[in-house]
Amino acid sequence: MTATPKIAIIGAGPGGCMLARLLTQRSIPCIIYEAEPSPDYRSQGGTLDLRSNTGLAAIRAAGLYDQFRKLARYDGEYMLITDKKLTTWMKRSPGKEGKSNGVQEAPEIDRKVLRKMLFECLPPDVVRWGHKLLRVDEKDLSLHFADGSVESGFDLIVGADGAWSKVRNLVSSEKPFYAGMGGYNFTIPDAREKAPQAYKFVNRGSVFAYSDGKNVNGQFLGDGSINVSTYSLRDEDWIKRESKEGVKTTDLVTAKQKQKDVVHGWAPELLNLIDSAQGDVDKRNLYMLPVGFRWAHKKGITLLGDAAHLMTPFAGIGVNTAFYDAMLLADAVAGCIERQRSDDLDIAIIEYEKKMLDHAHEGQKLTFGCMNDMYLTEGAPRTSIESYLLRHISQEFPRWSLPFVAAVLYTGFFFYKLFV
C-alpha cells in the first residue's frame, strides 16, 4: 500500500457522499462510482431527522454545520404518535435551533436537499455518474461496469451501495429478507394551499398513526408537500398480485381506495391524508438484514450504511447510522496514513468493522423492537407505548437512570390510560 491509499466508494447516497467529504477534507483522494446518471435522476424520498451523537456529529465533523443550519427545519421536529381514533400517545413540540424541545435535538431535512448539500461540497469529478457496477474482481480489486469500462488499482473498495449491495456479495452470501411489511407512498403537493386541513393536522412536522398492525403517516417536506405513507402486514407478493389485477402505479384513484379500505373506520383526519394525495403512487416492500449480521473480513473490501446493516425505517436512524459509519471509517483511514505503515490499512479496517457493527447492531435492535411494538403487538400502541418510548429514551439517557425513567414512564401511562 502507498502512503495514501486509493479508495473507491460504490454509491453516491448520503453515506457514500459523507465518507467522501470526510476523506477529501483531510486531503485523502477518493472516487465515488454511482449507477444513476445524474443527481436528480429520481426522487430521493421524504424527510429525515439528524441526531446529535450521530448524524449531526458527522455534519459538524465535515465542516457543514453552517450550511446545514440554513437548510434544516427545526419546526419539523413536531411529532404526534397516535392511533386510529387519534388518541395522543406522544407529542413532541416544534423545536428551535440550539434549544431542546424536551426530547432531543433532531432537526428535519429533506433527503434530496441533504444529498445535494453533500454533493455540492465535494471537489469536481469525485462522483462518476452513470457507472453501474456489475462485479468486482477479487484478484486485483478491479471494478467492472455495465458500460464496459474497468477501473483498477484500488487499495480499498467501500460498498455504500445500499440494500442490494454488489460489494456485500464479496464478503457474504447473506441477502436481505422480507420484513413482512409493505405499503404505499403518496404525495400531497403544496399542502398549505391545496390541502389546508392536512397541512394543519401535520403541523409542518410528522404524524404517525398505528393500530391493528397498520399505520398512516404524514410528513411535511421543505418544498411544502406532505409525504403520506401507509404500511401494513402483507405477504411479499402483494405488489405482483395488484399488478396482475390491473392496479398500476399511476392509478391514483384505485390505490387510494385500496388504502382507505385497509384503514376503514380510522379517524377522518387520517383518511383525509390519503384523500388529499395527488400524482403518482409508489409501492414498496420493506427488507432487512438479520439483526447482528456480520461478515468475515476480506482485505481491501468493507461496507457502510444499508449495505452493512439494512434495517426498516421504523426507528428513523438509517442515515444517522450511515453517517456515523462514515466518521468511523474516515478516522480509521486517516489514522493509518498518519502512522505511515503499509500494513496498517487492513488492521484499521478490521477495527472499523468491529466498532461500526457493534454500534449498528444496537440500531438494528432498536428498529426491530419498534416494529414489534407498533405492528406486531396486539392492542398497540395502547399496550406497547411504554416499551416503544423506552427503547428510544435508552439511546439518550445514561444506563444507570433507565430503571427510574421506566418507573416514571409506566406509572404515568397507567394513570393516563384510565382516562383515554
Break the chain into its structural domains and give their ranges. 7-71+109-175+291-368, 179-287, 384-416
**pLDDT in the model for residue 25:** 96
**pLDDT in the model for residue 279:** 86
**pLDDT in the model for residue 30:** 97
Q: What is the pLDDT of residues 207-223, one digit of tens each?
A: 999 999 999 999 999 99
DSSP string, 380-413: TTTTTHHHHHHHHHTTTS-GGGHHHHHHHHHHHH
Q: Does the pLDDT value for residue 132 go beyond 90?
A: yes
C-alpha cell at 316: 428513523
DSSP 361: H
Q: Tell which residue, 107, 14, 127, has the closest CA to residue 62.
A: 14
Q: What is the pLDDT of residues 66-119, one digit of tens each?
A: 999 999 998 888 999 999 999 999 999 887 765 544 455 678 999 989 999 999
339-364 burial: b if 16+ Cβ within 10 Å, else e: eeeeebbbebbeebbeebbeebeebb
**pLDDT in the model for residue 362:** 95
Count how many Cα atoms sit within 13 Å of the Cα of residue 195 in the half-sphere of its side chain.
28
Model confidence, pTM: 0.93
42-56, 170-184, 332-346 — which one is most confidently predicted on average? 170-184
For the domain covering 7-71+109-175+291-368, report its CATH number: 3.50.50.60
Q: Does the pLDDT value for residue 281 go beyond 50?
A: yes
C-alpha cell at 238: 402483494
**pLDDT in the model for residue 100:** 45
What is the rounded CA–CA span in Å between residue 295 and residue 48? 29
Q: Does the pLDDT value for residue 8 go beyond 50?
A: yes
Q: Tell which residue, 174, 172, 167, has the closest CA to residue 134.
A: 167
Q: Hey, how many other C-beta atoms are within 10 angstroms of the C-beta on 142? A: 16
C-alpha cell at 228: 403520506
Q: Check whether the bond before 189 is cis (ω within 30° of 0).
A: no
DSSP 123: P
**pLDDT in the model for residue 342:** 55
**pLDDT in the model for residue 242:** 83
Model confidence band, residue 364 (pLDDT cutoffs 50, 70, 90)? very high
21-45 average pLDDT score? 87
**pLDDT in the model for residue 416:** 97
321-331 average pLDDT score? 98
**pLDDT in the model for residue 39:** 77
What is the rounded CA–CA span in Å between residue 17 and residue 315? 22
Q: Does the pLDDT value for residue 328 go beyond 80?
A: yes
**pLDDT in the model for residue 43:** 63
What is the rounded CA–CA span in Å between residue 302 and residue 384? 37
397-413 average pLDDT score? 94
| Domain 179-287 in CATH 2.40.128.30 | no
Question: Sheet holding 127-128: strands in order across?
Answer: 127-128, 30-33, 7-10, 156-159, 301-303
Q: Hey, how many other C-beta atoms are within 10 angstroms of the C-beta on 137? A: 12
Q: Does the pLDDT value for residue 249 go beyond 70?
A: no
Count how many Cα atoms sit within 13 Å of the Cα of residue 65 in the half-sphere of its side chain.
11
Pairwise pLDDT comparison (74 vs 309), residue with the higher score:
309
Alpha helix ranges (H) inside 26-86 = 55-61, 65-71
**pLDDT in the model for residue 339:** 76
Q: What is the pLDDT of residues 44-64, one digit of tens each?
A: 668 889 999 999 999 999 999
**pLDDT in the model for residue 44:** 61
Model confidence band, residue 2 (pLDDT cutoffs 50, 70, 90)? very low
Answer for the pair 168, 303: CB distance below 8 angstroms, yes or no: yes
Model confidence band, residue 40 (pLDDT cutoffs 50, 70, 90)? confident
**pLDDT in the model for residue 107:** 87
Average pLDDT, the chain: 92
**pLDDT in the model for residue 129:** 95
**pLDDT in the model for residue 263:** 96
**pLDDT in the model for residue 250:** 65
Pairwise pLDDT comparison (59 vs 241), residue with the higher score:
59
